[in-house]
Structure 1
């Protein structure tokens, strides 16, 4: 099909639909169907074309390998949770802390054992550190902020052993493949990590808030900042006593309103749909070794299989890691770790029924991500057939200097990710567009990829619609909108600084 304005229609439908529904999937479905009917304007032909695009992308070996990896990774997390590994690790942390600074240090160190996924880290560390910090009278919102900052921003920078890595490599591979770029996807991901300025700056800011500010803001004990309930062992503290007394009328009004309306608060509404894995894990004996050992095995096998695959193409160990097919190595590592973990858990006396439940339930939790990826692949393919890549190159040409490409993509991505509350969704929308613009303006691809990943990290961290924000507010019993507002205030300055850095980087790399 000849490149024209109509090749932009699928993507022009995705963004407003995602903003309108606050969900990415409806926008991707509408964009895919619209593109398919543009290819075959027939009542049944367009629908059949959409299905064909989906099946064709799912049949790709690289794509199928990624989907299996993500399901297996979810199964791994499910096994760790139902066998008491998470609760055991939490209990160990609670016994180790001696001071507020030590608690913050342990919060940062805990990311070494909970770096696989943001929600996993929040669910694991949030409730534990809340109890730990109550002993030192540290505001709950500050604890939540530091844990949040060491979730999405940190995990987006870790190039191995996370669900993010598989997803990011898949997006880069698909977008770069449609552009005909020869650079391996994992190598491009590694090159883009230093350009994820938002994540890097947010981590620096969180370090400052953790260890270099001891002053408690005046509104930390404000009577309007009333969580659904306050539980603390320091009943004699004047500040806590005031907060308890001030919050009683607020909680009484909230309960009366919920009773009369028949509707609960956001946090209590979430409790109507309990996490089945969490419920099963409550009956398991807490053992930290059930978390620590499998993670060490997973990370070790990932490095081993990556080196074994890459040593065929390079002579040095570092060169082998750079040249390896990382997606294949990560899949091997996850599958072998799953088999070894199930055998080990059985030898440790874990019931087979419990292990199968954790395996299946954990894997099923990743199906939403798999569906999202499949739709992104199909939408990218139909847009390419419509002439999207060629038209954007013709449209942009030399009209946008390389200096401004990365800042514009970053700021646009921040807007999209904040409105839809999804880092994965923003990456899915922007990566094909960003690579197309980059190839048309000769902007370095690592810089553009870094800007896309940074913008999604902003939304996943700061948006009140982000599942990370909602999960943290729920776990820590914080008012959702007030907590989200606190994060946004800190994030705005980081976003501005990041945009300036993207302009500087574009100027330096362009010159």
Structure 2
């Protein structure tokens, strides 16, 4: 059984269930149970084995640090939202834009302050720029696209201070445990960033479409958008009324549109089962203040850079780049986050924020990251059980024997794009494909940074373009666009970017 086709069974289970349910966690749970029973085929042996895999992987020091980082990062965002930092930043920006080009420029520049997570960027920026662009008469789909293209693609290539970085470094750590590579997890992640071709190409394509697409294309898109909006108006009317009641008059801001209507989309009964987001209710009752976002963000980024450099310097790194490479970045990011959270409690106390509000923001924000944490723990466990079944050895032996080497990386990228588009999850795609990619790299299919970059690129495609992506749904909801129409609008340029990426991966495999 070891190293045979049986080792593929957990992944043969995970992917179809994820495609069928449009959820990755159920597929991972079933795949883990089946893999555990293959290792220990007895009545309760498999069940106990599955539990042991979960506990063992979650209790590993580096993995536990990542869990704490993800929960703490959610708390960081929750504190900013609960204290009016998001709504204050939105109101501050609204007063400073007068022209279409200036508004698009602001949309792109604002990514420097909101790059921490795609959902956070959408919730912060979309209500602001929608209000501004409505006054300027700019096509709504183009506005939404400009925000979206600077969300997931940008977050995927920022090397510090985001939940994406923590998750990606965690995947690197898990995959490297089953190889003989000398890379550290963070160093490998940084090395893979140039090979996330989809993120870079999509940013370039998005920049061109934002600033250089002619008026003729905008009018055509706006006509299609208007027709689709009229067709969908009746189906959406009650939801829009419900969400609109929670939006502030001046900012058009958060007020429940993002989370409330996303929950509306996820419920089967759109009229009766909608559950309002308590975070939005609380944030709507506080005085908006951009300072409550800007100051903590500056503190977090400064501490992250400083502690990362100090970690690398202490490990023998000399010079900025060498120090970053030598650093224990995961530990440095966690330390920076913990110090920032302590600072935020003191800072908000001096700004007369009640402790009940800050504690609510801390706990509620952290709890919103639990789905990501559960996803990651299951990925660790499935990777461990597949390793015990000989998954890596089988892939090295069989795939590299039958598939020409120069086509393996492009094929892995295309396969990942298909999966991520149908499940709408970049994190889920990365978790499912990274073990396979590392096994292929060990068999000579490509170097680790190139393989990792291709996997990250394929997940980025789905996170950006899929109609099932939370980002697509959130953006369409906040901008009052039909989801499928907006997804199709994005998919055209995403497909072009993906095609360019296939050529680039072929060239790199052939030349290098």
Q: Quick check: TM above 0.5?
A: yes
Change (3 A) 1:206 1:250: closer
Deviation at 1:250, TM superposition (A): 6.5
CA deviations over 1:65-124 (Å, ceiling 9, x no partner): 000000000000000111111111111110110100000000001111111100010111
Separation in structure 2 between the aligned mates of residue 47 and residue 333 of structure 1, nearest angstrom: 38
CA deviations over 1:8-33 (Å, ceiling 9, x no partner): 11111111111111110111011100
Maintained 8 Å contact 1:401/1:441 = no
CA deviations over 1:443-487 (Å, ceiling 9, x no partner): 111111111011000000000100000011111110111111111
Deviation at 1:438, TM superposition (A): 1.2
Change (3 A) 1:442 1:255: closer
Matched residue, 1:171 = 171
Change (3 A) 1:327 1:255: closer
Equivalent residue runs for 1:128-139 within 5 Å: 128-139=128-139
Change (3 A) 1:500 1:354: same
Matched residue, 1:404 = 407
Change (3 A) 1:267 1:55: closer
1:471 paired residue among 465, 470, 474 = 474
Maintained 8 Å contact 2:141/2:481 = yes
2:437 paired residue among 434, 437, 440 = 434
Deviation at 1:380, TM superposition (A): 0.6
Separation in structure 2 between the aligned mates of residue 81 and residue 339 of structure 1, nearest angstrom: 17
Q: Which one is further off, 98-107 or 310-319?
A: 310-319
Separation in structure 2 between the aligned mates of residue 335 and residue 257 of structure 1, nearest angstrom: 39
Aligned-residue CA RMSD (Å)? 2.0
Change (3 A) 1:163 1:253: closer
Matched residue, 2:393 = 390
1:225 paired residue among 221, 224, 227 = 227
Separation in structure 1 between the aligned mates of residue 193 and residue 406 of structure 2, nearest angstrom: 19
User: Are 1:421 and 2:424 counterparts?
Assistant: yes
User: Are 1:284 and 2:286 counterparts?
Assistant: yes
Matched residue, 2:246 = none
Change (3 A) 1:301 1:453: same
Matched residue, 2:213 = 213
Deviation at 1:488, TM superposition (A): 0.9
Gap runs ≥5 in structure 2: 241-262
Number of equivalences: 484
Separation in structure 2 between the aligned mates of residue 273 and residue 265 of structure 1, nearest angstrom: 8
SS at 1:343 equivalent = helix
Change (3 A) 1:257 1:93: closer
Maintained 8 Å contact 2:141/2:225 = no
Change (3 A) 1:383 1:483: same
Gap runs ≥5 in structure 1: 228-246, 259-263
Matched residue, 1:445 = 448
2:321 paired residue among 318, 321, 343 = 318
SS at 2:186 equivalent = helix
Separation in structure 2 between the aligned mates of residue 475 and residue 91 of structure 1, nearest angstrom: 17
Separation in structure 1 between the aligned mates of residue 115 and residue 474 of structure 2, nearest angstrom: 16
CA deviations over 1:113-170 (Å, ceiling 9, x no partner): 1111000101111111101001111011110011000000011010001000000000
Maintained 8 Å contact 2:308/2:329 = yes
Maintained 8 Å contact 1:310/1:322 = yes
Change (3 A) 1:396 1:487: same
Change (3 A) 1:342 1:505: same
Matched residue, 1:13 = 13
Deviation at 1:210, TM superposition (A): 1.6
Separation in structure 2 between the aligned mates of residue 310 and residue 401 of structure 1, nearest angstrom: 40
Separation in structure 1 between the aligned mates of residue 284 and residue 494 of structure 2, nearest angstrom: 35
Matched residue, 1:155 = 155
Change (3 A) 1:256 1:296: closer
CA deviations over 1:215-241 (Å, ceiling 9, x no partner): 1232413485354xxxxxxxxxxxxxx
Matched residue, 1:51 = 51
Separation in structure 2 between the aligned mates of residue 275 and residue 138 of structure 1, nearest angstrom: 30
Maintained 8 Å contact 1:173/1:185 = yes
